[in-house]
């Protein structure tokens, strides 16, 4: 895992997760993009702003609402499907409804790739601008490390459960 917060408060957090489930199993699961997005411990629910799309294979550009929850507090944030290659790549924006310059505007990206026979790797990436500049950078990195590790654990558990169900 690598997390940087530069002098302009730009954040880049990247982690590669090695998985032992077959690539095709993971690709089938990525078709349910909500399963990947709610692996983030703060993401509780994902809904399309204009109702479910007619063609779930073509959701790029769709506006979504991401329900966040932490310690009993719920906040809806605005998002959009930025990239969608079914079974391969998903990228979404995650923005405050109060505007672009507040509440850590960022994007989340997931990319599956085959690394070895019988397994694959998942790149999980978060990029954005940290707006609460009163928080020390070391604490921002610590917070993001917790979110990334929790997401990793939830993704692996979800993949293992999905793989077991397919057997």
Q: Tens of pLDDT along 99-127?
A: 878 999 999 999 988 776 666 788 999 99
Per-residue confidence at 21, pLDDT binned at 50, 70, 90? confident
CA distance 4 to 14: 9
85-99 pLDDT per residue, tens: 888 899 999 999 998
Distance CA(119)–CA(128), nearest Å, equals: 30
Mean pLDDT of 131-151: 96
Instruction: State pLDDT tens for residues 45-64.
Output: 999 998 888 777 788 999 99
Spatial CA neighbour of 91 closest among 127, 51, 53, 67: 127
pLDDT, position 32: 77
Domains (range + CATH), the chain: 2-166 (3.30.530.20)
HSE toward the beta carbon, residue 112, CA cutoff 13 A: 26
How far apart CA 39 and CA 60 sit, in angstroms, is 20
52: left (phi over 0), alpha (psi -120 to 50) or beta: beta
In DSSP terms, which residues pair with 99 in a beta bridge?
A: none
Interatomic CA distance for residues 28 and 24, integer angstroms: 6
pLDDT of residue 117: 66
Output the pTM of the full model: 0.88
Q: What percent of the chain has pLDDT over 90?
A: 57
Mean pLDDT (whole number) for 27-39: 79
Better-scored residue on pLDDT, 75 or 165? 75
Q: Is residue 74 a contact partner of residue 67, using CB atoms and an 8 Å limit?
A: yes
| 150 vs 35, higher pLDDT | 150
């Amino acid at each position: 895992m690598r997390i940087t917060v530069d002098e302009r408060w730009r954040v880049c957090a990247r982690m590669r997760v090695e998985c032992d489930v077959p690539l095709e199993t993971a690709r089938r699961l990525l078709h349910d993009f909500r399963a990947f997005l709610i692996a983030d411990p703060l993401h509780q629910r994902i809904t399309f702003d204009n109702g479910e799309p007619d063609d779930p294979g073509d959701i790029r550009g769709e506006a979504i609402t991401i329900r966040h929850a932490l310690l009993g507090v719920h906040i809806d944030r605005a998002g959009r499907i930025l990239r969608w290659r079914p079974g391969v790549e998903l990228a979404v924006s995650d923005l405050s409804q109060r505007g672009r310059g507040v509440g850590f505007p960022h994007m989340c990206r997931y990319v599956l790739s085959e690394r070895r026979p019988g397994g694959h790797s998942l790149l999980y990436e978060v990029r954005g601008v940290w707006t609460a500049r009163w928080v020390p950078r070391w604490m921002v990195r610590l917070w993001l490390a917790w979110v990334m590790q929790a997401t990793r654990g939830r993704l692996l558990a979800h993949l293992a459960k999905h793989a077991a169900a397919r057997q």
